[in-house]
C-alpha cells in the first residue's frame, strides 16, 4: 500500500521527473535539507516514536480507513524517511510519487498536530518535501501554472493590469444601479482600510467584490483598493515551494499598502492568503509579524457588527452549519468570532459537525490541493468523504464557509456525495440580509 | 565475577552516567545552535506562557484530542512513563545502592510492590509490542529503530526482575541488569529515546506557534 499504487498521470510531474537523475536528486535533496532546514526537521524525524496516534487525525486517513499510507506518519514514512535512509539518492520515479503525495494528499491543515504528544508538525515536513520538489522542477502542471502567473503578473489568475481596474470599475458601475452613491475608491491615500482580494475574485467571483463594496458603502467605511499589481493577496507559490516568489509577492502586497499609507489591510474571505501574510510569507521576508496590520474579513465583519454598522433588514433562515476554514481557525483562532457573526446573521441554530472549531476536518481543497487541478480531483473528493459524512449528519441545508478554496472543495464534495447543501460566504449572507436604504 | 561486578558498578557506571549527561547536553547544545542558524523565526516565536500551557495539557491524561482518541494507549503511555522513572528511583535495592555508594538515603517502595510494578512495566512493553505488530497503522510506519528502543527499555526491567526473583544464575543476571541499565543511559542521547531530552522543546514550540501566532489551541 502506498502512493506508488495510486499514481496519477500529470504532465507537469511527468516532464519534471524526466529531467532527473539520482545524482541530481541527491544533490538537491541534501542541499535543501542542509541549507534550508535545521533543528525542527532533525528533531521531528528523530523523536517521532512511530506511535501511530496521529493516524486518525487526517481526513484523508479517515476517508480511507483501511489504508495506513494516508496517515500523517505514513506520509512521512513514504517521503522524508526514505530520503534520509537513502541519503537523498533515489530514483526519479520515487520523486514522482513523493511529489504527488506532498502536493495532493496533504492539505497542510495541521489537524495532526492536535494528536501528536511530541508536537511534531507533519504539515511542516510536507512543506519541506514540496520545497524539494520545486527545486527539482517537479510540480503538478496546474498549480505550477498559477505560480507562473504570480511571477508574471503578481496575481494568481493571469489578470492583466488593465483588466484589474476594468473589473473594479465594472462592478462599481453595476453596484451603482443599486446604490447610486457607491464608489470603489482606487488608490486613496490615508484610507482606514485597504481591501485586498484573491485573484479568482476579479476573474470569476466578481459578485464578491460587488458585495464587499455594498457592505463597505452601507457601513460607511473609509476604504480603498489599489489600482496597481500587488492587489492579489493570494499565494500559490507558498504551496509549490517557490518561497523566493512568495517573498516577492508579499513584499509587493505590503509595499502597495504602505505606499497608500493605509491604517490596515482587510482581507477578503480567504484562508491561505491570510496564512501567507501573517505567518509564512512575512517570515521569509524577515518580518516577525506583518509591517501593516492585517485583519481577516471575519474579524472585520465582526467589528462592524459590534459597532452596529451592519443593519439587517432580515435574517438568513437557519439552521445552518459552520465550516471552519483551517487557515483561519487552526490558523488564526477566528472560530468564536465566526460563530458570533453567524448567530447575529442567522435566524436559527448552528448545528455543528462532529469535528468543529480547532478540531474541524479540512475541506480537502486547501494547501494548494484543489489548485493542482482536474487530474487530482477524484482523489481529493475521495479524501473528503469523512467531511461529507459529518456534513450529512447535521441535516441542515446551508454551510457557512468563509473561504474561497473551501467553497471549491465543498462544492465538489456536496455534488459527489449528493448532499443538498448550499455553501455561503459571510459576504453573501450579509449582502442578502442587510438593509439597502437606497434600493 | 567479583571483578566484573566491581567494574560495572564502578568505572563503567561513572562512564555511563557521564555519557548520558554529557551526551544529552551535547545534543541539546547542538540542536540549539542549529536552530539559531536555521530556525531563527521559530526561536523568535517561543513563548513561556504558551509553552507551559501546551505542556500542561499534554502532560494531563485525556486533556487533549489526541489522548482522548487513543484511550488505551493513553493509559499505557502515562503509566509506563511514570513507572519508568518511579521504579528505578524508589526500588529498595537501588535506594540501598545510593546509600551504600553516596550516603544518600530516601524512602523506598516495599519489595513486593516493586516486584509487582516491574511486572506491570513488562506487561506494558508487551502491550506496546503487540500493538506495533497488530495495528495496521502502526505496523506500516514501524522501523527497526522502534524495536531497538523498546528492547533497550525493556531489558533492565526483565533482567532486574529475573535477578530479584533469582531465576537463572543471580551473579550473571545482576551484571546483565546493570549493563542493561547502563546501555539505556548511554542510548538516550543517540536514539529515539532522545525524546526525553527534546520533547519539552518540540512541545513548547508547537504551543508557542499555535498560541502566539495562530491564536489557537494545539491540543
- CATH number of the domain bearing residue A297: 3.40.50
Q: Are residues A378 and A393 in the same domain?
A: yes
Is A49's Cβ below 8 Å from some Cβ in B? Answer: yes
Q: Are residues A383 and A421 in the same domain?
A: yes
Residue A172 lies in a domain: yes
pLDDT of residue A146: 95
Q: Are residues A187 and A64 in the same domain?
A: no
Q: Are residues A104 and A204 in the same domain?
A: no
Which residues of chain A does B46 touch, with a Cβ-Cβ cutoff of 8 Å? none
CA-based nearest distance A222→chain B, Å: 28
Q: What is the chain A residue with the closest CA to B136?
A: A68
Q: What is the chain B residue with the closest CA to A289?
A: B213
Q: Is the CB of A359 less than 8 angstroms away from the CB of B65?
A: yes
CA-based nearest distance A393→chain B, Å: 20
Which residues of chain B does A38 touch, with a Cβ-Cβ cutoff of 8 Å? 34-35, 37-39
Q: How far is CA B147 from CA A83, B88, B144, in A?
A: 21, 22, 5
Q: Are residues A355 and A408 in the same domain?
A: yes
Which residues of chain B does A108 touch, with a Cβ-Cβ cutoff of 8 Å? none
Q: Are residues A167 and A300 in the same domain?
A: yes
Phi and psi at A346, nearest 5°, equal -110, 140
- Nearest Cβ partner for B194 among A46, A52, A61: A46
Last residue of a domain, one of A261, A285, A305: A305
Q: How far is CA A411 from CA A54, A361, A407, A420, A422, in A?
A: 28, 16, 6, 10, 8
Instruction: Divide the 219 residues of chain B into consecutive groups of 10 and give the mean pLDDT of each group.
Output: 90 96 97 93 93 96 94 96 95 92 91 95 97 96 95 97 94 95 96 94 95 92
Last residue of a domain, one of A112, A139, A166: A139
Q: Is the CB of A40 less than 8 angstroms away from the CB of B39?
A: yes
Q: Are residues A222 and A88 in the same domain?
A: no
CA-based nearest distance A38→chain B, Å: 5
Q: How far is CA A291 from CA A197, A222, A288, in A?
A: 18, 20, 9
Q: What is the chain B residue with the closest CA to A67?
A: B137
Residue A148 lies in a domain: no
DSSP β-bridge partners for residue A434: A312
Determine the 3-state secondary structure of A191 from DSSP: coil
Residue A400 lies in a domain: yes
CA-based nearest distance A198→chain B, Å: 21
pLDDT of residue B92: 93
- Nearest Cβ partner for A114 among B41, B65, B142: B65
Residue whose C-alpha cell is 481596474: A165
| Helix or strand (DSSP H, E) at A316 | strand A316-317
pLDDT of residue A209: 94
Q: Is the CB of A120 less than 8 angstroms away from the CB of B202?
A: yes
User: Mutating which of A41, A50, A116, A299 best tests the B interface, going by the most B Cβ atoms within 10 A?
Assistant: A50
Residue A284 lies in a domain: yes
Residue A415 lies in a domain: yes
Is A34's Cβ below 8 Å from some Cβ in B? Answer: no
Last residue of a domain, one of A71, A105, A139: A139
Is A46's Cβ below 8 Å from some Cβ in B? Answer: yes
Cell of residue A9, nine digits: 498521470
Determine the 3-state secondary structure of A19 from DSSP: coil
Environment class of A87 (CB within 10 Å of its CB; exposed 0-12, middle 13-18, buried 19+): exposed
User: Mutating which of B47, B188, B216 best tests the A interface, going by the most A Cβ atoms within 10 A?
Assistant: B216
Q: Are residues A300 and A160 in the same domain?
A: yes
> Tell me, what DSSP letter sits at residue A57?
T
Domains identified in chain A, total number: 3
Cell of residue A232, nine digits: 492579489
pLDDT of residue A193: 95
Which residues of chain B does A71 touch, with a Cβ-Cβ cutoff of 8 Å? 137, 140-141
CA-based nearest distance B85→chain A, Å: 18
> Tell me, what DSSP letter sits at residue B165?
T
CA-based nearest distance A120→chain B, Å: 7
Q: Which residues of chain A have pLDDT under 70?
A: 438-439
Q: Is the CB of A113 less than 8 angstroms away from the CB of B54?
A: no
Which residues of chain B does A49 touch, with a Cβ-Cβ cutoff of 8 Å? 146, 149, 192, 195
Residue A329 lies in a domain: yes
Q: Give Cβ neighbours of residue B99 (< 8 Å, ≥ 6 apart).
A: B105
Residue A439 lies in a domain: no
Q: Is the CB of A119 less than 8 angstroms away from the CB of B203?
A: yes
pLDDT of residue B59: 96
| Domains present along chain B, CATH in parentheses | 2-20+54-213 (1.20.950.20)
Which residues of chain B does A74 touch, with a Cβ-Cβ cutoff of 8 Å? 137, 140-141
- Nearest Cβ partner for A113 among B132, B136, B206: B206
How many distinct helices (H) and strands (E) make up chain A? 23, 9
Which residues of chain A does B211 touch, with a Cβ-Cβ cutoff of 8 Å? none
Is A332's Cβ below 8 Å from some Cβ in B? Answer: yes
Q: Are residues A323 and A401 in the same domain?
A: yes
Which residues of chain A does B44 touch, with a Cβ-Cβ cutoff of 8 Å? 288
| Helix or strand (DSSP H, E) at A25 | helix A22-36
Considering only the C-alpha atoms of chain A, give the largest distance between any 2 of them, rounded to a whole number of Å. Answer: 69
User: Mutating which of B141, B217, B219 best tests the A interface, going by the most A Cβ atoms within 10 A?
Assistant: B141
CA-based nearest distance A347→chain B, Å: 28
User: Mutating which of A49, A66, A128 best tests the B interface, going by the most B Cβ atoms within 10 A?
Assistant: A49
Query: Domain span at residue A20?
Result: 3-139
Q: Are residues A399 and A289 in the same domain?
A: no
* A-to-B residue pairs, Cβ atoms closer than 8 angstroms: 142
Q: What is the chain B residue with the closest CA to A74?
A: B141
Q: Is the CB of B66 less than 8 angstroms away from the CB of A117?
A: yes
How many distinct helices (H) and strands (E) make up chain B? 12, 0
Say what the ipTM of the complex is.
0.94
The Cα–Cα gap between A249 and A268 comes to: 17
Residue A149 lies in a domain: no
Q: What is the chain A residue with the closest CA to B58?
A: A117
A290 neighbors A254 (Cβ within 8 angstroms): yes
Q: Are residues A169 and A292 in the same domain?
A: yes
- Nearest Cβ partner for B141 among A37, A46, A77: A77
User: Mutating which of B60, B66, B76, B199 best tests the A interface, going by the most A Cβ atoms within 10 A?
Assistant: B66
CATH number at residue A30: 1.10.1060
Q: Is the CB of A47 less than 8 angstroms away from the CB of B35?
A: no
Is A288's Cβ below 8 Å from some Cβ in B? Answer: yes
Q: Is the CB of A40 less than 8 angstroms away from the CB of B42?
A: yes
Q: Are residues A232 and A329 in the same domain?
A: no
pLDDT of residue A277: 81
Which residues of chain A does B133 touch, with a Cβ-Cβ cutoff of 8 Å? none
Amino acid at each position: 500500500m502506498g502512493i506508488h499504487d495510486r499514481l496519477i498521470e500529470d504532465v507537469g510531474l511527468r516532464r519534471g521527473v524526466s529531467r532527473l537523475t539520482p545524482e541530481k536528486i541527491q544533490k538537491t535533496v541534501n542541499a535543501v535539507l542542509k541549507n534550508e532546514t535545521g533543528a525542527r526537521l532533525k528533531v521531528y524525524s528523530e523523536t517521532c516514536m512511530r506511535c501511530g496516534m496521529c493516524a486518525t487525525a487526517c481526513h484523508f486517513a479517515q476517508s480511507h480507513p483501511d489504508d495506513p499510507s494516508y496517515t500523517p506518519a505514513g506520509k512521512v514514512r513514504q517521503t522524508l524517511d526514505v530520503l534520509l535512509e537513502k541519503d537523498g539518492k533515489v530514483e526519479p520515479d520515487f520523486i514522482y510519487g513523493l511529489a504527488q503525495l506532498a502536493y495532493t494528499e496533504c492539505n497542510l491543515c495541521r489537524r495532526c498536530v492536535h494528536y501528536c504528544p511530541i508536537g511534531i508538525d507533519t504539515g511542516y515536513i510536507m512543506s519541506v518535501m514540496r520545497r524539494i520538489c520545486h527545486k527539482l522542477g517537479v510540480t503538478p502542471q496546474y498549480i505550477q501554472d498559477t505560480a507562473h502567473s504570480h511571477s508574471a503578473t503578481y496575481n494568481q489568475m493571469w489578470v492583466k493590469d488593465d483588466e484589474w481596474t476594468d473589473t473594479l470599475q465594472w462592478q462599481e458601475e453595476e453596484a451603482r444601479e443599486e446604490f447610486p452613491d457607491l464608489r470603489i475608491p482606487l488608490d486613496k491615500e490615508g484610507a482606514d482600510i485597504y481591501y485586498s482580494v484573491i485573484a479568482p475574485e476579479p476573474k470569476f467571483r466578481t459578485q464578491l467584490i460587488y458585495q464587499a463594496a455594498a457592505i463597505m458603502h452601507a457601513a460607511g467605511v473609509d476604504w480603498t483598493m489599489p489600482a496597481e499589481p500587488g492587489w492579489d493577496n493570494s499565494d500559490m507559490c507558498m504551496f509549490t515551494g517557490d518561497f523566493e516568489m512568495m517573498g516577492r509577492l508579499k513584499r509587493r502586497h505590503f509595499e502597495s499598502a504602505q505606499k497608500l499609507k493605509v491604517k490596515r489591510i482587510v482581507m477578503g474571505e480567504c484562508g491561505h492568503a491570510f496564512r501567507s501574510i501573517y505567518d509564512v510569507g512575512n517570515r521569509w521576508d524577515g518580518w516577525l509579524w506583518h509591517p501593516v496590520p492585517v485583519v481577516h474579513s471575519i474579524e472585520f465583519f465582526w467589528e462592524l457588527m459590534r459597532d452596529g454598522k451592519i443593519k439587517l433588514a432580515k435574517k438568513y433562515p437557519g439552521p445552518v452549519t459552520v465550516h471552519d476554514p483551517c487557515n483561519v481557525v487552526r490558523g488564526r483562532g477566528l472560530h468564536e468570532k465566526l460563530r458570533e457573526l453567524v448567530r447575529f446573521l442567522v435566524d436559527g441554530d448552528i448545528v455543528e459537525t462532529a469535528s468543529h472549531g480547532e478540531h474541524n476536518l479540512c475541506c480537502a481543497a486547501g494547501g494548494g490541493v484543489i489548485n493542482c487541478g482536474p487530474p487530482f480531483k477524484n482523489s481529493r473528493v475521495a479524501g473528503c468523504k469523512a467531511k461529507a459524512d459529518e456534513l450529512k449528519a447535521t441535516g441542515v441545508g446551508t454551510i457557512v464557509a468563509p473561504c474561497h478554496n473551501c467553497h471549491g472543495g465543498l462544492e465538489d464534495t456536496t455534488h459527489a456525495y449528493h448532499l443538498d447543501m448550499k455553501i455561503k460566504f459571510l459576504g453573501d449572507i450579509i449582502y442578502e440580509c442587510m438593509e439597502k436604504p437606497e434600493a | 565475577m567479583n571483578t566484573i561486578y566491581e567494574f560495572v558498578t564502578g568505572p563503567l557506571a561513572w562512564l555511563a552516567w557521564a555519557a548520558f549527561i554529557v551526551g544529552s547536553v551535547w545534543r541539546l547544545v547542538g540542536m540549539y545552535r542549529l536552530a539559531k542558524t536555521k530556525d531563527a523565526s521559530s526561536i523568535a516565536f517561543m513563548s513561556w506562557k504558551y509553552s507551559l500551557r501546551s505542556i500542561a495539557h499534554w502532560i494531563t491524561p485525556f486533556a487533549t484530542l489526541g489522548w482522548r482518541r487513543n484511550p488505551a494507549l493513553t493509559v499505557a503511555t502515562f503509566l509506563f512513563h511514570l513507572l519508568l522513572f518511579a521504579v528505578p528511583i524508589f526500588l529498595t535495592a537501588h535506594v540501598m545502592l545510593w546509600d551504600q555508594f553516596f550516603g544518600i538515603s530516601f524512602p523506598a517502595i516495599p519489595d513486593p510492590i516493586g516486584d509487582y510494578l516491574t511486572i506491570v512495566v513488562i506487561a506494558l512493553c508487551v502491550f506496546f509490542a503487540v500493538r506495533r505488530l497488530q495495528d495496521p497503522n502502526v505496523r506500516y510506519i514501524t522501523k527497526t529503530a522502534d524495536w531497538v528502543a523498546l528492547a533497550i527499555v525493556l531489558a533492565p526491567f526483565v533482567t532486574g526482575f529475573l535477578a530479584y526473583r533469582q531465576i537463572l544464575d543471580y551473579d550473571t543476571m545482576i551484571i546483565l541488569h546493570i549493563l542493561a541499565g547502563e546501555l539505556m543511559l548511554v542510548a538516550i542521547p543517540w536514539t529515539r529515546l532522545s525524546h526525553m531530552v527534546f520533547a519539552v522543546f518540540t512541545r513548547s514550540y508547537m504551543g508557542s506557534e499555535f498560541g502566539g501566532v495562530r491564536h489557537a489551541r494545539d491540543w
